[in-house]
Amino acid sequence: MNPVLPGEIAIKSESDIVAARRTVRDAAMQVGFGMTDVTRIVTAASELARNVFKYAGEGAMTWRQLEEPGRMGIELRFIDHGPGIADVQLALQEGYSTGAGLGLGLPGAKRLMDELDIQTASGQGTTITLKKWRMI
């Protein structure tokens, strides 16, 4: 079992959302997540990669393996220099969306992952960090 090497891919076209999903699927499987958790992680990544493309035009996703006593995990980070999120609390509410989605993107990702951290300000871009753990 080889550990996952950290990496980064650019998100600047629609096909990059697919690439992000595939990358995250491979990484999550390598970390040893079961099929349900892999699907949760990939779905969360898909939502956030699309948000980067849709709201900021372009950005990047980084990934790395996490290791702590008794547990392993994966960290995904979505970085863009777009308009930022004016009201994070509002954006995390289900049903809220500034785009044409169901408004499930960000709150959905939060429910699927164990940790979600948002660094953003209006006009300052957005960095969203997601973590998912599994006991070992």
Partner 1 sequence: MKSKTKSPNGGGEKRLEAVTTPDMLRMLVENVRDYAIILLDPKGNVTSWSPTAERLKGWRAEEIIGQHFSKFYPPEDNVSHKTATELAVAEKEGRFEDEGWRVRKDGTRFWANVVLTALRDKEGKLVGFGKVTRDLSERRAAEEKIRKQSQEIFEMAAVPVVQVWEGILLVPLIGTLDSQRTQHLMERLLQRVTETSSPVALLDITGVPTIDSQTAQHLIETVAAVRLLGADVVLTGVRPTIAQTLVHLGIDLSNVFTRSSLTAGVRMALEILNLKVGPKS
Partner 2 sequence: MNNESISVIKVRDILMVTMPSDPDDSTISSLQNKVLTAMERTDAKGVILDISTVETLDSFFARTVSETAQMVALMGGRTIVAGMRPAVAVTATQIGLTLKNIETSLNVERALDAATAERPRDPR
**Which spans of this chain sit near partner 1 (rule: CB under 8 A)?**
1-3, 5-6, 32, 34, 36, 64-65, 67, 136
16 vs 37 by CB, closer to partner 1: 37
Does 111 interact with partner 2 (rule: CB under 8 A)?
Answer: yes
Number of H helices and number of E strands within the chain?
A: 4, 5
Residues 42-81 that bind partner 2 (CB under 8 A): 42-43, 46-47, 50
Strand (E) positions, 12-108?
59-68, 71-80
Q: What distance separates the 2 farthest-apart alpha carbons in the chain?
A: 43
Partner interacting with residue 121 (select from partner 1, partner 2, none; CB below 5-8 Å by kind):
none
Of 3 and 99, the one with the shorter C-beta distance to partner 1 is 3
Taking the least distance from each CB to partner 1, the nearer of 65 and 97 is 65
Q: Tell me the C-alpha distance between 136 and 125, whole Å.
A: 36
Q: Which two tokens stand for residue 29?
A: 């499987």
Rounded (to 5) percent helix, strand, coil in the chain = 40, 30, 30
Expressed in angstroms, the distance from the first to the final Cα of the chain is: 14
Could you tell me the smallest distance in angstroms from the CB atom of residue 6 to partner 1?
5
Give me the least distance between CB of 111 and partner 2, in Å please. 6
Q: Out of 3, 6, 10, 22, which residue is the one contacting partner 2 (CB under 8 A)?
A: 22
For residue 1, state whether it binds partner 2 (rule: CB under 8 A): no
